[in-house]
Structure 1
Amino acid sequence: MRITLILAFVSLVASDLIAIPQNLLWPRPQSLSFGTWARSVNPSTVNVNINGGNRELLLKFAVDRLKTNVLLMGCSDITNLPGDINTIDVTILETDPFDFSNAKESYTLNSTNSTVYITAAHSVGALRAFETLSQLISPKAVAAGFTPGFHLPSGPWNITDHPVYSWRAISLDTSRNFMPISVILRTLDGMSATKLNILHWHIVDATSFPIVSKTYPDLTDSAYDKLSIYTYEDVKQVITYAADRGIRVIPEFDSPSHAQAFSFSKVLKPFVLCRNAANGWRNPYNGGVGNQPDGSWFPTCVEPPCGAVNIANPDAGPAIAKLLVEYTGLFNDSVMHLGGDEVSSFCFASEPEFTSRVFPDVTNFAKLFPNATVPSIFPPDWYAGFTKSYQTYADQIVAAVKGTGKKTMHWEDIVLKDGVVLPADAVIQVWNGWDDVVGKNSLQKLLDLNRYQIVDSNNEVYYLDGGSGKWLTDSLGYGNSSWKEEYWIGYRNWQHIYNHDPRTSPMENTTDKTGFGLASQPTGNLTLILGASAAIWGEKIDSSNLDVKLWPRAAAMAEALWSSFDDPTNKDLFEAEPRLTVMRERLISRGLAAEALHPAWCNTHLCGFKFKGNKSPFGNVDGYEAGASKDQSSQSKATGIFTGLKWISSILIVFFMI
């Protein structure tokens, strides 16, 4: 057994947020009050009464998880220990909806001397309340020496809670590096602990198609090996495991780009152009001479292996649609993601199989592509033909999916870059944050359309796979870093993620060429923004480092989306960090290898006291307290004197078994 001491350390609170006793809760509830007494609880013997809702689900799984998760944070045999609180009384007020996306996550939690009362509209709200309760029930050592057992401290508790954003997701890539089912389930455990509610499963990509298909069985020939394939039973296990935790699973089957793996199917192979692009880009209409050397994939696609569905072939859309319809029967969520990102005009321009269909009346392609080198700007006639073909293809696959009763989701490119018009109920996922006029402010551009619902995955905030260095050996054909590697290389710290709010945070400035300026906050119908999704792309991520890349940074996003704040600039990192430290230990106790937030020394000492600029957690200061000398500012750490700040000091000792 190991004893881990977490000091929910001295923290400087520059806001008016209510300090949560012992920093127990993450994410922060919308409304809470508490008292001063503590009542003992034996999680092994407490009775749980459930009225209404999915009683079987809650009793069979959620109650056991509640008890198990509490015990993971404690130690010793508590079988014969009494409990003052002996009952958890749960009331579900409404019938659970068939469509999981309509489920209400709101709940209330109230404690008395002997009973905890939970009320929720739907069963998923009770699941969220159970998670809150599992965080409140603490080892008695928190406040009372080393007496074994557990208690509910600082009672009575009165909590009213609900999420601000309905879309709180992780986008998980399992194609570029295969993720075993056990790893996906463990990720769902972390999502449940932090009240995230959607797993966006990027299950296939150009590198592999690792899921069994009954329509095109040879697609799995693209898998890395026979063990790196998801069966129908595997997928059903993930969906069931997620549903038991109140989490939706939305699959993504990307096309027309990222489609090289489709070519492993004998039926689909004729529809896949630019396969692997092993000979570099060529202009076939000016003597076949280009400026990219053999072996270069750029600019035929943004990363290897290249491959794109021929959107001009009238048989391609129906063929892909059959595959999608198959999976609408396997995945039961009301949304299916159809991709649509990073479609390369260079690929289609180099393939006569595409151009001869789109421009059947053009005989002199030298007029359409006058330069032998890679064109930087395609002529208007090209884009008109390209968009018309893409619209037809999109109409075909979208109609097939919608015909099964689902709505579709897409990356922003299909609308903003490629000009396709989608059904008004489509969900668009924003990801761009480039340092150029065309790629910037994509969220605002979608708001201006006032047509689609939006999910924010701004790569400057929510891409969590960065920070591991470059991986391509042939970038741009000259041994240089590609734009994609440079953009992915940065590490997004938890503070940056935590401070971002999809509806209120300033966006990139479209007139700023350097990429550092910020425009105003988003404007328009902000209710169209459903929430956000943290993406973990798999180029350098596999089961060995997924946890440390996701956690606890995904937890920072979870609170920012659940709790939100009227003014995100008033978020208090000093108030949040002790609670996130406790949450990290909780995640570790549940089997997730969450990254350290700081040296353990900082658990008992104040770290990083001095700040520069006008946006420090201390308020409008420039490095030090207004009117204070360096010596005075440093002394305030020891003496607790700092103008305008409240000192909050609490200690949480957490025991858990190794």
Structure 2
Amino acid sequence: TRADTSRHYLPLATIKGVIDAMTYSKLNVLHWHIVDEQSFPIEIPSYPKLWNGSYSYSERYTMPDAIDIVRYAEKRGVNVLAEIDVPGHARSWGVGYPELWPSDSCREPLDVSNNFTFKVIDGILSDFSKVFKFKFVHLGGDEVNTSCWTETPHIKEWLNNNHMNVSDAYRYFVLRAQKIAISHGYEVINWEETFNNFGDKLDRKTVVHNWLGGDVAPKVVAAGLRCIVSNQDKWYLDHLDATWEGFYLNEPLKGINNTEQQRLVIGGEVCMWGEQIDASDIEQTIWPRAAAALPLCICTRDGCLNEKIEHTQKRVIFL
């Protein structure tokens, strides 16, 4: 299940309620989209001004709060996957540390030319590693509008000095962030744009999170990388116009016939984004549709894969 706590803050009791429902539905990974451009609600001891980007003092999660959620989930057989979405979706970071913005008038994506940017990422992931013990961390990497990098003089100068264009800088940022996460013992999940732009450069343990194109997962596994499937037209729960039939006909293994490549699809994820939901309606928006993803992740129309059933705990992700 995804808990998107940047667009709308969710009280701890609400997150725990989602975890309880996941347990009943045998869904096993809570993808916590903790921060985004709208707000930065979590405490980061290494950089304590980051949560200045929260909506208010009462809409924050302390480190003990995060530990509480992780322990609550683990007792119910649910892992917690933490996400920071960089370098795009990160405008809120600069509320506490304005030097992370390219400029006051151009605040996203994060400043690729500033080493401080990567020190902050390192601090966040260092603090995360003490709380979020799941082997994966999600680093986002989607929807990166690089115009701020070319419109900001000091970044433009940095690009020229390093013989980079904005595509090179995007790759540089993602790969450097991956190395930081790996140094803290994590395996990295990135959104599919990273694969679409420089898939051959990604760390070989990268998990590519498919959300845009229905033909991406076969390409990812053919390249030898792991994949999570979340087709937005089928499995985005905030798309209320998506049909029940379409939801049920969404097969994560579509177009993947090789058994070894099928094993590289480590899960399917149904996504609840938070722009238009809050604590008052999140559960009625998630359920019961989300529960329908489970059989689709362990079976196809041609039958169930024994290997997938035996390893369900590794294969089903509900967002």
| Greater share of residues in strand | 1
* 1:270 aligned residue: 99
2:291 & 2:49 partners in 1: Cα distance? Answer: 39
One-letter amino acid matched to 1:273: P
Q: 1:200 to 1:218 in 2, by over 3 A?
A: same
Percent identity over the alignment is 28
**Would you say the 8 A contact 1:260–1:276 is kept in 2?**
no
The equivalent of 1:185 in structure 2 is 16
2:152 corresponds to = 351
Change (3 A) 1:240 1:546: same
Q: Is the 8 A contact 2:252 2:265 kept in 1?
A: yes
Instruction: Show the counterpart of 1:526.
Output: 262
Distance, in Å, in 2 between the alignment partners of 1:245 and 1:360 is 52
* Contact map agreement 2:87 2:174 (CA 8 A) in 1: no
- Is 1:458 aligned with 2:259? no
Verify the 8 A CA contact 1:276 1:307 in the aligned structure 2: no
| 1:331 corresponding residue in structure 2 | 132
Give the structure-2-normalised TM-score: 0.87
Question: Aligned runs of 1:402-417 on 2, under 5 Å?
Answer: 402-417=182-197
Give 1:329 shift.
1.3
SS in 2 for 1:273: coil
Distance 2:266 2:17 in 1: 25
SS in 2 for 1:260: coil
Q: Deviations over 1:40-77 (max 9, x none)?
A: xxxxxxxxxxxxxxxxxxxxxxxxxxxxxxxxxxxxxx
Higher helix residue share: 2
Mapped partners of 1:185, 1:432: distance in 2: 29
Which of 277, 283, 288 in structure 2 is aligned with 1:552?
288
* Residue in structure 1 matched with residue 316 of structure 2 by the alignment: none
Residues 141 and 174 in structure 2, CA contact (< 8 A), matched pair in contact too: no
Corresponding residue for residue 61 of structure 2: 230
Say whether the 8 Å CA contact 1:313–1:357 is kept in structure 2.
no
2:4 aligns to what? 173
Query: What stretches of structure 2 of length at least 5 have no aligned partner?
Result: 305-319
Q: CA deviation at 1:391?
A: 3.6
Indicate conservation of the 8 Å contact 1:447/1:528, yes or no.
Answer: yes
Give the structure 2 partner of residue 615 of structure 1.
Answer: none
- Against the structure 1 CA distance between its residues 420 and 328, is the aligned structure 2 distance closer, same or farther, given a 3 Å change threshold? farther
Q: 2:172 aligns with which of 385, 388, 392?
A: 392
SS at match of 1:531: strand
Aligned-partner Cα distance in 2 for 1:416–1:181: 36
Amino acid corresponding to residue 454 of structure 1 in structure 2:
C
Distance 2:7 2:105 in 1: 15
| Offset, 1:493 | 3.1
Contact 1:444 1:523 in 2 (8 A): no
Tell me the number of residue pairs that the alignment of Structure 1 and Structure 2 aligns.
302
The answer for the alignment partner of 2:271 in structure 1 is 535
Contact 1:387 1:419 in 2 (8 A): no
| Match runs of 1:53-202 below 5 Å | 170-202=1-33
CA distance in 2, matches of 1:396, 1:447: 23
8 Å CA contact retained: 2:251, 2:296? yes
What is the RMSD of the two structures over their aligned residues, measured on CA atoms?
2.2
Residues 337, 411 of structure 1: alpha-carbon distance in 2 compared, 3 angstrom cutoff = same
Q: Does the CA-based 8 Å contact 1:202-1:252 persist in structure 2? A: yes
After TM superposition, give the deviation of residue 418 of structure 1 in Å: 5.3
Greater C-alpha Rg: 1
Structure 1 runs not aligned, ≥5 long: 1-169, 278-305, 362-380, 434-439, 468-490, 505-520, 569-658
How far, CA to CA, are the matches of 1:347 and 1:418 in structure 2? 21
**Residue 114 of structure 2, aligned match among 281, 303, 313:** 313
Cα distance in 2 for residues equivalent to 1:567 and 1:545: 35
Q: Secondary structure at the match of 1:339?
A: coil
Show CA shifts across 1:506-554 (max 9, x none). Answer: xxxxxxxxxxxxxxx2355222111211111111011111111100000
* 8 Å contact kept, 1:253–1:339: yes
